[in-house]
Amino acid sequence: MADEYIFSAAGLAVGYRGRAVLRDIDVRLRRGQILTLIGPNGAGKSTILKTVTRQLSAIAGTVYIGREELSGLGQAALAKTMAVVLTERVQPEMMTCYDVAAMGRYPYTGRFGTLSAADHAIVRAALRRVRAEEIAGQDFTRVSDGQRQRVLLARALCQEPEILILDEPTSFLDIRHKIDLLDILLEESRSRRLTVILSLHEIDLAEKISDLVMCVTGEGVTRVGTPEEVFSDDAIAALYGLDSGSYLVKRGSVELARVEGAPQVFVVGGAGCGLPHYRALQKRRLPFAAGILFENDLEFEVARALAAKVISQTAFTPISVQAVRAARETLLQCRAVLDAGAPKGPLNAANDALVALAQAHGIKVIHHAEELD
């Protein structure tokens, strides 16, 4: 049932001047799916996108649009099927945002590009869908980056494509505009079954918007799969060659490298209360230990990423004697204990005992990292 797939690449190799950068790309998309390319800079995300938009010709393999080969499509037919939002800076002379969006009607207008009433209606609708109606009359070069990107998206939508391709559409955008843009894409793909292929730098956002994710590294396409299949802490670390910092999939957060060394501070945390203290200690470049944390605790992943040592307890089980012993040993090596002020209950009474132990041994008990300065 090949025609179920609106876009497919089979054995595709892409590159420049006959030299393949990436080989054996196989991916198939159904109507309305979103495919996101992630990976480090220079890995070849743009090369793939340029190849599927025919800015570059494929080194090997075939791209199919529906059942037709991409290379066999006429230029006008392709323009009605596929639209693009590129990274290059667009600086048209004396064009309003409306004019730029209306340019998307190019494949549909006559010899002189005169817009019919129906064309105008489509342009207005596209501007409304990208929430750019109010800037329609403004000069395109004078609006903000976020607005400009939305107008370029409206231009692409005016082409009434079945497939939309965007090369790093969220670069240069602030967080609000990133969310707006991706939200529009998600809406278009769900309500109009627009198929979207894009590359993103923000792995956390990629996970949230994609139906399929393609990890692209310099050595070749490593994986294609659903976000659930592709995203694991290790896979992301490997993809980007993270050996210092880390990326926590469950939290969608990026963490800096941990400060290595013998722990100097023991953080008694829990229920997320330790989070600000881990960051504060990390910024002071102090190696620290954290414990005793249940493994389902809000802060457990971060502690694991940042603490030199973590003493943890399997989720939903009482704190074991071994854990308490390990915590005591580590704590007695530290010069301070930071009580994060986590809520107390019968299951974490051992943590209270740790603070008491510190006081008994004359180890300073603090509540903020500043007290160490």
Partner 1 sequence: MKKSSLPVRTAAVFGLLVLAFGAMLALNVRTGSLSIAPEQVFRILLHGGSDGTPAGNVIWKIRLPRLLAAAVLGGALSVSGFLLQAFFRNPIAGPYVLGISSGAKMLVGVTMVFVLRHFAGMPFWAVMAASFAGSLLVTGFVLLFARRVRSMSVLLVIGIMVGSICTAVTDFFITFADEANVANLHSWSMGSFSAVSWQNLRIVSAVILVSLWGAFLLSKPISAYQLGENYARSMGVNVKAFRVALIALSSLLSASVTALSGPISFVGVAVPHMSKLLFGTAKPAVIIPGSFLLGGVFCMGCDLIARTAFSPSELAISTVTAVFGAPVVIALMLGRQRGRDHG
Please tell me whether residue 95 binds partner 1 under the rule CB under 8 A.
yes
* Binding test (CB under 8 A) with partner 1, winner from 43, 63, 82, 306: 82
Whether the ω angle into residue 292 lies within 30 degrees of 0, i.e. cis, is yes
> Phi/psi of residue 152, each to 5°?
-65, -35
How far apart are alpha carbons 245 and 333 in whole angstroms? 26
Q: 149 or 159, CB closer to partner 1?
A: 159
Q: Where are the beta strands (DSSP E) in the chain?
A: 5-16, 19-30, 34-38, 60-65, 68-69, 82-85, 163-166, 195-199, 212-217, 220-225, 246-248, 253-255, 265-268, 288-294, 309-313, 336-339, 364-366
Contacting range for partner 1; rule: CB under 8 A; set: 13-21, 77-85, 257-265, 349-357: 77-85
Please tell me whether residue 111 binds partner 1 under the rule CB under 8 A.
yes
Least distance in angstroms from the C-beta of 137 to partner 1: 5
Q: 6 or 302, CB closer to partner 1?
A: 6
141 DSSP assignment: G
Please tell me whether residue 317 binds partner 1 under the rule CB under 8 A.
no
Contacting range for partner 1; rule: CB under 8 A; set: 103-111, 232-240, 253-261, 284-292: 103-111
* Binding test (CB under 8 A) with partner 1, winner from 159, 170, 189, 313: 159
Contact 53, 45 (CB under 8 A): no
Please tell me whether residue 88 binds partner 1 under the rule CB under 8 A.
yes
Please tell me whether residue 222 binds partner 1 under the rule CB under 8 A.
no
Burial of 198 (0-12, 13-18, 19+ CB in 10 A): buried
Tokens coding 108: 């549909």
Residue 52 identity: V
* Binding test (CB under 8 A) with partner 1, winner from 93, 219, 260, 373: 93
Least distance in angstroms from the C-beta of 105 to partner 1: 9
Least distance in angstroms from the C-beta of 74 to partner 1: 9
Least distance in angstroms from the C-beta of 99 to partner 1: 8
How many beta carbons lie within 10 A of that of residue 106, not counting itself? 14
Q: 71 or 244, CB closer to partner 1?
A: 71
How far apart are alpha carbons 204 and 49 in whole angstroms? 21
Please tell me whether residue 171 binds partner 1 under the rule CB under 8 A.
no
How far apart are alpha carbons 365 and 373 in whole angstroms? 14
Please tell me whether residue 53 binds partner 1 under the rule CB under 8 A.
yes
Please tell me whether residue 72 binds partner 1 under the rule CB under 8 A.
no
Least distance in angstroms from the C-beta of 158 to partner 1: 10
Contact 108, 80 (CB under 8 A): yes
The alpha carbon dihedral of 94, 98, 99, 104 has a sign of positive
Q: 37 or 152, CB closer to partner 1?
A: 152
Please tell me whether residue 259 binds partner 1 under the rule CB under 8 A.
no
* Binding test (CB under 8 A) with partner 1, winner from 72, 92, 261, 345: 92
* Binding test (CB under 8 A) with partner 1, winner from 20, 34, 97, 104: 104
Q: 7 or 278, CB closer to partner 1?
A: 7
How far apart are alpha carbons 116 and 120 in whole angstroms? 6
Least distance in angstroms from the C-beta of 140 to partner 1: 9
How many beta carbons lie within 10 A of that of residue 238, not counting itself? 14
Please tell me whether residue 130 binds partner 1 under the rule CB under 8 A.
no
Least distance in angstroms from the C-beta of 51 to partner 1: 13
* Residue 226 φ/ψ region, left for φ over 0, alpha for ψ in the -120 to 50 degree band, beta for the rest: beta
Least distance in angstroms from the C-beta of 205 to partner 1: 25
Please tell me whether residue 141 binds partner 1 under the rule CB under 8 A.
yes
Compute, in degrees rounded to 10, the torsion defined by CA atoms 11, 14, 19, 22: -70
Residue ranges binding partner 1 (CB under 8 A): 53-55, 75-76, 78-79, 82-84, 86, 88, 90-96, 98, 100, 103-104, 106-107, 109, 111-113, 137, 141-142, 155, 159
